[in-house]
Structure 1
């Protein structure tokens, strides 16, 4: 068995997308940590995305994540411990506790968005806008092939680690 070098251009698109996605996730987390937000994990991003426009109960959060209530509660506890989410009661139902982003959680979200925007600018500097748009169209098509296009639209992309 040889350890001959592999040219990235020789890899199939799904493999390239998978490897690039892992690299992007790692780089985004490194940039978030460099901004002072230590302890954020990829799985936290799936929870945070559900809190951008909603304050769900743990049950609703678990359902949207496709996991058990215990799993969702653990994610929320982790994020609470880091100071990125809080559980609050609502005036209409004092028994129901909803999960929402704190100011620090919104800052993590903003740091992640900045990191991705910086990375996109770095890619544009390497390949130009026309190639970026072609790559974007290709990756959207790959989302369609994998059945994730609608999940992206509804901010309900499943955590691959929970699949």
Structure 2
């Protein structure tokens, strides 16, 4: 008897399935939490900007590189976040031709609340599996996430 692919993926999920479950579960909880705390208009796609945005501002090219998104995607997300009041564009004092994406007071509030929510999620996972096991999981996950298949 042949085991269906979907059954196999449920029983023994590969790295892609596990990563997706981890990401989507984290996003659901994170965005529900920040919505309850005054930021109901944000969507997971906005995380490509907000997760990497520095309090002092970031260039769109840096946000694109850090998030793995195309610069055009970041530009669209920044436009949405400007319209929602979370960020603004300002001239970069280091290069007047460039723009910095700066969090507004509303953006800074969301960033603080999101950081606290993620910390609470991580603390809950660490408690569930044990501090040492969770620390090792994160260590190995960082190694796997940082490994580029084109390097070896």
Q: TM-score, normalised by structure 1?
A: 0.67
Structure 1 Cα separation of the partners of residues 24 and 147 of structure 2: 17
Gaps of 5+ in 2: none
Q: Structure 1's 70 and 18: CA in aligned 2 closer, same or farther, altered over 3 A?
A: closer
What TM-score comes out, normalization by structure 2 length?
A: 0.71
Match of 2:22 in 1: 20
Partner of 1:48: 50
Aligned to 1:144: 143
Query: SS of the residue aligned with 1:20?
Result: helix
Give the RMSD, CA atoms, in angstroms. 3.2
Change (3 A) 1:63 1:134: closer
Per-residue deviation at 1:53? 5.2
Aligned CA distance change for structure 1 residues 75 and 13 (closer, same or farther; 3 Å): same
Answering whether residue 118 of structure 2 is matched by residue 116 of structure 1, we say yes
Per-residue CA distance 1:49-81 (angstroms, 9 max, x = gap): 332255233344334444443222101001111
> How far off its partner does 1:145 sit?
2.3
Q: How does 1:1-163 map to 2 (within 5 A)?
A: 11-12=12-13, 14=15, 15-52=17-54, 54-91=56-93, 93-127=95-129, 131-147=130-146
For structure 1, list consecutive stretches of 5 or more residues without a partner in the other structure: 150-163
